[in-house]
Structure 1
């Protein structure tokens, strides 16, 4: 079981001939069979191992490595540009019964190994797109943390790569795999609280990024590669800190601050509940503009999603309808202004959404069946776009209009330049 490269069985080749006949991913979802799949390397069948690599071993990776306990899963690589983090990741795999896992500071080693079937990408946001596209181009499936990308242009490239290479890509918006959020979205979609007027989301705030004097780069840390496509800046410990309360998440160079941190979760659920996974808002207004008390974005039909509007009962999201309210949070918390609604089961005519009860397992199941996971690149891109345009409006301190059909900023050349960002030489986005 500890062999890092088990032999690949002929059943993988046979899988391509029978993939259309396989059942759904143990969940209700439409099957999408792409012709591009025929050009991929052999993919795991029902009885094959899925050989995994894990890239980026900060705090967030801790929620993913337990998948190695899943029957039929084999870890082959751990990867990080920080020597201490890499050593700790290898030791953790050994403790889990996989001492032969390869530790590498270079993700390219993983891309060049055809034995790897799929990768977890849990790096800072500015590295998501490049590694994910490289993985898909190499015939690997991808689990990438949220927000899926740093820029709108990267998101479009990710959607195209998913289509072109027939990859199974899951974005780590795991609230879609939590029962309370799904039930809240189904209640909204089924009209239980009437016409939706507003959605309130609680994101919190980060302190301003720390811009202190340069510090000594720790031994065994490839800081230049950590920066990657981002502009060169002198090293400081806070700049690279993987801390939920700040660190790299508070710098515009590597993320979208709180819009990308918690917004990627809560804006995603708003999109799902409104049935807007193929669309998005058309207006983004930052806090403070002409006295606006709260940041918000607005859809063409007038529905507003308001950031950090006070939410009763310490909930994360509130849906405000013409006939009542719904409050929802993690840990299965679901409340309604009409108490009987929270416990009422869905009826035969109510909307039922894609059911996944474990985000990582949904992805693994879909790797085998070649079905679409609950949060594909298309969905991840639409949600990340909201985070990104909200950030652009915040940085410009004025409203930004967005065309969700053409997927571009409207009549604002200065804001449009932020749809992408320059990349440092040597760190261009893969095709």
Structure 2
């Protein structure tokens, strides 16, 4: 069943009916008819094509572009501020059999194309919110990489845009679509290891950001647009490098360092397992404060999520309960202190969580059905908020208290200023 749009929101169907320009375009280029026109009641049918744009051609895009090999999708655009990256992405589409895919450095070209149904946004973190909100306003469905936003204020704006425009949005917290993480969360929710005392999350660390001497901006790179809403800084290759081990991820201007990198994955699983997707912790303490050995955040019931506490067998997340432990990682790794639990099936009275086996396909299926994805903006915002608050506490080197109901920092005007950040003129957040 199609979920009705909120009051005042324009559905794609009504927009298309009202657009004479689009009608002319549709007749002139039938191969680019938006899939929403073809399905019954304005919803794409099971065999209808979804026309896609791919914005940002860094390392992580490789995890998403494979969807064009499946049925029912048509790539129309690739976008990047680097000419070399655009050319490479366009050539890859040709190799995949899509010779007509266009390339641009301007994401606006993609989201303003009425033939585009949905977009992947795989840019550095500081661009996620602006492009996603602009895409939602233009009637596109959105897959946006994690962490969903750079600031708490951006997250609130994303949640409002998702609600206002009726967007099907997926945040790239793909561990929710992996069996082992879902099973671990279901075991915790079902009380298999008793009362949860702590959660340990292995994030690792980045080296300090390298400032270095200014370097010439390479030809074919729109550095000003790459910086976007962030302060202008002299160009260095280290600042903009796409590198899972560092690069732009090291800089506070563009992310939340490891809190926003791996924290966006593992803190998200903790939220899911603890049943806190609509809430969050109340206290954030940085490593070293008053002798604290580890960074941690704490919920109002006393449960602590501790960063980089040693975890056995190189696991990623550990749940410590009153009646046992659960360890879970990617590649289907799931271990328990009581070995029989790992193989035990869920019973009739146990908690069953949203089941997805492929994060990108879950989004595409929801684009057709209009049901909520496994990680919509409401969930992505709560997880990103944790990443951002942990980063604020780290930068200020003091605890930060948070009211998850009112969504505001308590009794600390200096910390509260970091709930948002100034944006450069010309790069304001869309309404």
Where does residue 157 of structure 2 map in the other structure? 157
TM-score, scaled relative to structure 2: 0.92
Pairing 1:379–2:379 present: yes
Where does residue 41 of structure 1 map in the other structure? 12
Secondary structure at the aligned position of 1:198 is classed as strand
In 2, distance between residues paired with 1:57 and 1:109? 16
Secondary structure at the aligned position of 1:239 is classed as helix
- Measured after TM superposition, the shift of residue 90 of structure 1 is 0.2
In 2, distance between residues paired with 1:36 and 1:114? 23
Where does residue 400 of structure 2 map in the other structure? 400
Pairing 1:336–2:336 present: yes
Task: Please show how residues 124-203 of structure 1 align to structure 2 within 5 Å.
Answer: 124-203=124-203
- Measured after TM superposition, the shift of residue 33 of structure 1 is 3.5
Q: Any unmatched runs of 5+ in structure 2?
A: 14-35, 37-42
TM-score, scaled relative to structure 1: 0.92
In 1, distance between residues paired with 2:192 and 2:353? 15
Where does residue 367 of structure 1 map in the other structure? 367
- Measured after TM superposition, the shift of residue 112 of structure 1 is 1.3
In 2, distance between residues paired with 1:361 and 1:320? 33
Where does residue 22 of structure 2 map in the other structure? none
In 1, distance between residues paired with 2:357 and 2:108? 33
| Residues 31-82 of structure 1, C-alpha deviations (whole Å, 9 max, x = no match) | x543359722233511321000000001000000000112110000000000
Task: Please show how residues 240-389 of structure 1 align to structure 2 within 5 Å.
Answer: 240-389=240-389
| Residues 200-244 of structure 1, C-alpha deviations (whole Å, 9 max, x = no match) | 000000000000010011100000000000000000001000101
In 1, distance between residues paired with 2:120 and 2:212? 33
In 2, distance between residues paired with 1:270 and 1:247? 27
Aligned-residue CA RMSD in angstroms? 0.9
In 2, distance between residues paired with 1:90 and 1:48? 24
Where does residue 422 of structure 1 map in the other structure? 422
In 1, distance between residues paired with 2:339 and 2:269? 22
Secondary structure at the aligned position of 1:278 is classed as coil
The answer (yes or no) to whether the contact 2:9–2:164 under 8 Å persists in 1 is no
Secondary structure at the aligned position of 1:113 is classed as coil
Secondary structure at the aligned position of 1:327 is classed as strand
In 1, distance between residues paired with 2:60 and 2:7? 32
In 2, distance between residues paired with 1:53 and 1:217? 27
The answer (yes or no) to whether the contact 1:33–1:370 under 8 Å persists in 2 is no
Where does residue 107 of structure 2 map in the other structure? 107
Secondary structure at the aligned position of 1:120 is classed as strand
Secondary structure at the aligned position of 1:54 is classed as strand
Where does residue 12 of structure 1 map in the other structure? none
The answer (yes or no) to whether the contact 2:142–2:168 under 8 Å persists in 1 is yes
In 2, distance between residues paired with 1:231 and 1:323? 50
Where does residue 28 of structure 2 map in the other structure? none
Secondary structure at the aligned position of 2:418 is classed as helix
In 1, distance between residues paired with 2:180 and 2:48? 33
Where does residue 55 of structure 2 map in the other structure? 55
Q: How many residues align?
A: 402
